[in-house]
């Protein structure tokens, strides 16, 4: 069986370093591993519209931002089909058939949907489109016969829902859809990178995110004002590592040679942490180190972004090519689905024959 990756993001803002360590970086590694036959990366604009239907302009503006972010981290359009969800009509057709396989109470139990309903004040009245987006996400995944879906842990309930749909479809209509597997980040500190203010999640609305497109000065400002340990007032005070955002980021971003290059007086992160815990290590020093580590990772990304920013028409061409590749694959699956359901009336010769036999 072919090994196929499908993953994606909602275009509701620029991508930040939380996205990067949580999933984007991994995608590039998977792309370069050569282990996968196909890789599809989707800009989920139709899904973004389910809770931004009053602001389609925001979604439209961010399609290009997300595409630029993808290209800047090193996703290669020759190896990856990058496409826009709304342009693949087959996805929406699949959703209609999958809707029959899911109950309202099952959707109501989805923890991600539950917390998003609260977040968006949808409690009183939930738009149907939003409520059904886990079903539409199952279409995204199954349309490409994805075996592997690399996502953050917040997407676990979506994968579970997709797997249930696959199981139910195959049980009722015969083996047709491929069972997808979730692939979570390996590094624990990357599972959910907190915002620079130490708050649970990096988000645009909280103003606590470092964006891939931020310039060097902005990154420095954000790092130097990061939340650390409120009890670590004097340099000589013993400090806490847990809940200290600078150390959480270092856990996520430090590489083997980071100390040698930027802070050679320490051997590794354990030694740095020990000193901080003992006392005598100031926040400015660890922040400067973090800035260097981050900037080293972000500089090439920023440079690549600048070169693509000069050729926006070229970026749209990349997306257009990706859409054509995606449509081809999705059409194949839709045809399989219709055959399995025996509703492919004009392409399935058996249907005509069967009906004729009724009258013979
Ligand atoms: N729900 C994902 C997010 O919020 C985006 C998405 C849409 C997606 N369809 C998908 C991710 C299919 C993986 C697979 O970021």
pLDDT of amino acid 152: 84
Mean per-residue pLDDT for 330-354? 95
Q: Closest by alpha carbon to 80, among 24, 21, 158, 19?
A: 24
For the chain, domains (ranges, CATH) are 4-192+312-356 (3.40.50.620), 216-308 (1.10.240.10)
Euclidean distance between CA atoms 82 and 96, whole angstroms: 24
Q: 41: CA distance to ligand 1 center in Å? A: 10
Picking from 63-67, 195-199, 329-333, which range would have the lowest pLDDT averaged per residue? Answer: 195-199
Q: 192: CA distance to ligand 1 center in Å? A: 16
pLDDT of amino acid 191: 67
Q: pLDDT tens for residues 187-241?
A: 766 667 899 999 878 887 888 999 999 999 999 999 999 999 999 999 999 999 9
Q: Which residues fall within 8 angstroms of residue 42, CB to CB, at 6 or more apart?
A: 6, 7, 8, 9, 82, 83, 84, 85, 140, 326
Ligand 1: residues within 6 Å at CB?
6-10, 44, 47, 137, 140-141, 149, 151, 155
On the question of pLDDT at 285 being above 80, the answer is: yes
Site to probe by mutation for ligand 1, drawn from 5, 10, 166 as the one with most ligand atoms within 8 Å of Cβ, is: 10
Q: Whose CA is nearest to atom 8 of ligand 1?
A: 8
Mean per-residue pLDDT for 34-48? 98
Q: Whose CA is nearest to atom 9 of ligand 1?
A: 137
Q: pLDDT tens for residues 130-183?
A: 999 999 999 999 999 999 999 988 899 999 999 999 999 999 999 999 999 999
Percent of the chain with pLDDT over 70: 99
pLDDT of amino acid 199: 85
pLDDT of amino acid 247: 96
Euclidean distance between CA atoms 165 and 179, whole angstroms: 9
pLDDT of amino acid 96: 98
């Amino acid at each position: 069986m072919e090994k196929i990756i499908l993953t994606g993001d909602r275009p509701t803002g620029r991508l930040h370093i939380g996205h990067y360590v949580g999933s984007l970086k991994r995608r590039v590694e998977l792309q370069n591993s050569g282990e996968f036959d196909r890789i599809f990366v989707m800009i989920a604009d139709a899904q973004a519209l389910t809770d931004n239907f009053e602001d389609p302009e925001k979604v439209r503006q961010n399609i290009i931002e997300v595409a630029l972010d993808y290209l800047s981290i090193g996703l290669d359009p020759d190896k990856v089909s990058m496409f826009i969800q709304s342009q693949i009509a087959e996805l929406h057709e699949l959703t209609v058939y999958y809707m029959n396989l899911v109950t309202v109470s099952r959707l109501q139990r989805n923890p991600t949907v539950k917390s998003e309903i609260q977040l968006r004040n949808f409690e009183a009245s939930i738009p149907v489109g939003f409520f059904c987006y886990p079903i539409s996400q199952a279409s995204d995944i199954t349309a490409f016969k994805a075996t592997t879906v690399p996502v953050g842990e917040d997407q676990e309930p979506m994968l579970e829902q997709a797997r249930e749909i696959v199981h139910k479809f195959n049980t009722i209509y015969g083996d047709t859809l491929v069972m997808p597997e979730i692939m979570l980040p390996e590094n624990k500190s990357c599972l959910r990178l907190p915002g620079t203010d130490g708050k649970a999640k990096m988000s645009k609305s909280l103003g606590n995110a470092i964006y891939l497109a931020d310039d060097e000065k902005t990154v420095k400002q954000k790092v130097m004002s990061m939340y650390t340990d409120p009890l670590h007032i004097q340099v000589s005070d013993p400090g806490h590592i847990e809940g200290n955002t600078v150390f959480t980021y270092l856990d996520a971003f430090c590489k083997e040679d980071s100390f040698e290059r930027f802070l050679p007086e320490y051997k590794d992160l354990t030694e740095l942490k020990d000193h901080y815990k003992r006392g005598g290590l100031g926040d400015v020093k660890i922040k400067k180190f973090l800035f260097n580590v981050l900037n080293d990772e972000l500089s090439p990304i920023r440079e690549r972004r600048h070169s693509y920013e000069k050729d926006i028409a070229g970026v749209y061409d990349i997306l257009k090519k990706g859409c054509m590749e995606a449509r081809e694959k999705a059409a194949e699956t839709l045809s399989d689905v219709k055959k399995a359901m025996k509703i492919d009336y004009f392409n399935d010769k058996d249907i005509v024959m069967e009906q004729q036999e009724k009258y013979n």
